[in-house]
Amino acid sequence: MAVKPSFPGFTPISDRIFLRNEDSKLGSIAEEKPPVDHPTTIVVYGWGDGTPKNVAKYVDGYHKLFPAARILMVISSTFAASFPSLEQRTEVMLPLVDVVFPTAGDRAEEEKVLFHIMSNTGGIYAAATLNAFQHRHGRHRRLPHHLCVNDSTPGSVVFATEVGRWSRAMALGTAKLFPWPFALTHALWWVFLYAVHLVERARGREASGVYSCRAFLDHGMATPRAPRLYLYSKADDLIWWEDVEMQAEAARGKGYAAVLERFEDSPHVGHMRVHPQRYWGAIERCWRESMAMEGV
């Protein structure tokens, strides 16, 4: 059993899932009743190799917007998003489902959930959460959520055109671990990803990134009542803006409301840092619009 790490201001639910908890007592935030038009639960899925300290800055931002909301933070390495099977990824997300949705039915439907997904790694574990909910409560149920914020995601899922950028992302996340030049680390991860790709094809296993995009376009898993907000940039060298817009158009074609907020100069998962007012303003506006659609 993995050791639960300690992180100031959070209660560890597992080695990858943390609950924002001001009083260091599990459930204290959840016991405060949020305003009727505020989210009750926010889940922030960090980017690949994002540290708790850095991902927590987004949790802080949400706490300022919605101070009574229960906020969970999910962290993962890029490696852990790329290699494990769907069953393994689902197992990792079951503790989150058990905290937010201990039961299905009317009580679960009362939750107002906001997903904040960062980069493709965040998307992979958000999709695993959808699957974990159905694993726990039945395939006929969908995890209730009311807004899905996509920060620097999703990109293209075509392996041949994306392997270079995926391997670069993994190299960036692990560069400090290796003494040799960055180009060698990049090349090694490229070889590793290509080997994993060949193994997945031989097994007939769907790649994690492909599955996550498919899950969030499936009405049986991701409810169409939840609009999508895409925060992305022309300057992002890991997730191209054209791919984000293509994925947004695919979502619209499946009946999902999609709002595009394109930045010109911010780097990958760097939009909040470069344009904080515009960033949080877009999220708050889309949440209000989502609640208006619900008649709240």
The CATH number covering residue 43 comes to: 3.40.50.1820
Other C-beta atoms closer than 10 Å to the C-beta of 226 total 21
Quick one: pLDDT at residue 232? 98
In 3-state terms, the chain is what percent helix, strand and coil (to 5)? Answer: 50, 15, 35
181: tokens are 């030049």
Residue 136 · residue 281 · CB < 8 Å: no
Residue 222 has pLDDT above 50, yes or no: yes
Give how many domains the chain has, as a whole number: 1
Task: Give domain status of residue 186, yes or no.
Answer: no
> Is the model more confident about 285 or about 212?
285
Specify if 125 maps to a domain: yes
> pLDDT band at residue 156, thresholds of 50, 70 and 90?
confident
Virtual torsion, Cα 166, 60, 259, 213, nearest 10 deg: 30
58 alpha carbon, distance to own chain's centre: 12
Q: pLDDT tens digits for 159-175?
A: 666 666 666 766 776 77
5 within some domain: no
Amino acid at 148: C
Q: Token digits for 199? A: 């193994």
In a domain, 163, yes or no: no
Q: What is the pLDDT of residue 291?
A: 95
In this predicted structure, what is the pLDDT of residue 4? 66
pTM score of the predicted model: 0.87
Reply yes or no on whether the pLDDT at 27 is more than 60.
no
State the average pLDDT over residues 187-216: 77
pLDDT of residue 195: 74
The proportion of the chain whose per-residue pLDDT surpasses 90, expressed as a percent, equals: 60
Query: What type of residue sits at position 33?
Result: K
User: Confidence band (pLDDT; 50, 70, 90) for 24?
Assistant: very low
Determine, yes or no, domain membership for 181: no
Q: Is position 221 within any domain? A: yes
What tens digit of pLDDT does each residue of 117-142 get?
999 899 999 999 999 999 999 999 99
- d(C-alpha 146, C-alpha 143), whole Å: 10
Q: Which two tokens stand for residue 287?
A: 């949440």
Q: Is residue 257 part of a domain?
A: yes
Q: Which residues contact 120 (CB under 8 A, 6 or more apart)?
A: 48, 81, 153, 154, 155, 166, 209, 212, 239
Q: pLDDT digit string (tens) for 36-59? A: 999 999 999 999 889 999 999 999
Residue ranges making up the domain that contains 79 = 10-157+207-293
Tokens at 146, concatenated: 């009311």
Mean pLDDT of the chain: 86
pLDDT in tens, 54-109: 999 999 999 999 999 999 999 998 878 877 889 999 999 999 999 999 887 656 67
d(CA 184, CA 176): 13
Alpha carbon distance 283, 65 (integer Å): 10
- Residue 122, judged by CB atoms within 10 A of its CB (0-12, 13-18, 19+), counts as buried
Share of the chain above pLDDT 70, in %: 85
Predicted confidence (pLDDT) at residue 186 exceeds the cutoff of 80:
no
Distance CA 296, CA 294 (A): 6
- Of 203-207, 251-255, 260-264, 292-296, give the lowest mean pLDDT range: 203-207
DSSP string, 241-295: HHHHHHHHHHHHHTT--EEEEEESS--TT-HHHH-HHHHHHHHHHHHHHHHHHTT
Please indicate, yes or no, if residue 171 is contained in any of the structural domains.
no
Q: What is the per-residue pLDDT for 25?
A: 40
What's the pLDDT score for residue 23?
A: 44
